């Protein structure tokens, strides 16, 4: 099967959804590919309940609400969605770009915008948790309700670990955060909020065993060689992710430390291939959703000129419509 479009967007997270809307605003036909089965990228997969604080105009917005708004906004472009499918091959020629998906579908586009975030991702395993996934051990917290009244142990010291500790503390019977070091990667303000809550923080420690029958009932925590057993009905392993750009690395695009190198127009070293969002790299890059939105608009406007050299980069403001 072969389909044609003006702009093909690879990645259906916040940046990709906004790029779809903006491409529609520029009058383009839009197609959007994502390896996940749902729209919203990492937010939908991992953080739908998380409060996001750095999107302009929203002092605080829940992840699922932000995605819902972006999906509604993107719908104005009437995009063709290809979900649960991976872009396998990309070939650029003088007239456009052909992308082949893992199911054999070919998409012919005037330009491609890659908004794939960190690429395909898988959670780092908890060594002591082998065999316990779904039996009390989870890597993500898409909903807080299942943790109500439970003793929860969270393993990790990054933003996810502290965010989940902060949000689960009001609903869980207890929350214990275990980290192998006494320094944390999480945002300082969130760390202070967790420290001021009922949650317990144990540092220079490891979860060395999960105990129970069909479901976890306790965990062993080892500190300085001494092991103690703690009641626990839920373990969240927030140890980060193993990211993989996958086939993107074989497309002839310049990549630096798992990120795509772009210029000020968001163009890669391929003339019709652009990128936006967390996947990009350039001097001074800041990885925020808010930055991704701006990069998406920049990429779409410059892709427009790549498709039609007579077009203007800046089309005017959306509020200037008749």
Binding-site members for FAD are 15, 34, 42, 47, 87, 121, 278, 319
Q: Burial-class residue 182 by CB neighbours within 10 Å (0-12, 13-18, 19+).
A: exposed
Angle at CA of residue 41, ends 37 and 43, nearest 5° = 120
Q: Burial-class residue 122 by CB neighbours within 10 Å (0-12, 13-18, 19+).
A: exposed
- Known binding-site residues equal 15, 34, 42, 47, 87, 121, 278, 319
Q: How many CB atoms lie within 10 A of CB 84?
A: 13
Q: How many CB atoms lie within 10 A of CB 114?
A: 32
End-to-end CA distance of the chain: 39
Distance of CA 309 to the CA centre of its chain: 33
* 92: phi then psi, degrees, rounded to nearest 5: -105, 140
* CA pair distance 216, 32, nearest whole angstrom: 40
Rg (alpha carbons) of the chain, rounded to whole number: 22
* CA pair distance 318, 297, nearest whole angstrom: 12
Distance of CA 195 to the CA centre of its chain: 27
The candidate with the shortest Cα–Cα distance to 156, out of 174, 176, 179, 139, is 179
Contacts of 294 (CB under 8 A, 6+ apart): none
Q: Which residue has the tokens 């903006």?
A: 22
The answer to whether the CB of 241 falls within 8 A of the CB of 227 is: no
Decide the pairing of beta strands 255-256 and 259-261: antiparallel
Q: Which residue has the tokens 């809550």?
A: 197
């Amino acid at each position: 099967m072969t389909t044609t479009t003006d702009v093909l967007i690879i990645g259906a997270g916040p940046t990709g959804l906004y790029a779809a809307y903006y491409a529609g605003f520029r009058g383009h036909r839009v197609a959007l590919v994502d390896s996940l089965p749902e729209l919203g990228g990492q937010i939908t997969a991992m953080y739908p309940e998380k409060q996001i604080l750095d999107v302009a105009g929203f002092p605080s917005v829940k992840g699922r609400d932000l995605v819902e708004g972006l999906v509604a906004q993107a719908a104005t472009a009437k995009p063709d969605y290809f979900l649960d499918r991976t872009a396998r091959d990309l070939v650029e020629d003088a007239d456009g770009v052909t992308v082949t998906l893992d199911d054999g579908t070919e998409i012919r586009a005037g330009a491609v915008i890659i908004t794939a975030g960190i690429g395909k991702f898988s959670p780092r395993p908890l060594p002591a948790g082998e065999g316990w996934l779904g039996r009390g051990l989870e890597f993500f917290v898409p909903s807080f309700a299942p943790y109500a009244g439970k003793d929860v142990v969270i393993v990790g010291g990054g933003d996810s670990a502290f965010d989940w500790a902060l949000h689960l503390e009001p609903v869980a019977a207890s929350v214990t955060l275990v980290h192998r070091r006494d320094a944390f990667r999480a945002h300082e303000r969130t760390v202070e909020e967790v420290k001021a809550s009922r949650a317990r923080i144990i540092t220079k420690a490891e979860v060395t065993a999960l105990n129970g029958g069909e479901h976890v009932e306790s965990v062993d925590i080892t500190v300085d060689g001494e092991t103690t057993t703690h009641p626990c009905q839920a373990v969240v392993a927030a140890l980060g992710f193993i990211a993989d750009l996958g086939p993107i690395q074989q497309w002839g695009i310049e990549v630096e430390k798992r990120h795509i190198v772009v210029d000020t127009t968001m163009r890669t070293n391929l003339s019709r291939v652009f990128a936006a969002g967390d996947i990009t790299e350039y001097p001074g890059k800041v990885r925020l959703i808010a930055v991704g939105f701006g990069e998406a608009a920049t990429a779409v406007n410059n892709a427009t000129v790549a498709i039609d050299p007579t077009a203007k980069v800046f089309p005017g403001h959306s509020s200037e419509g008749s």
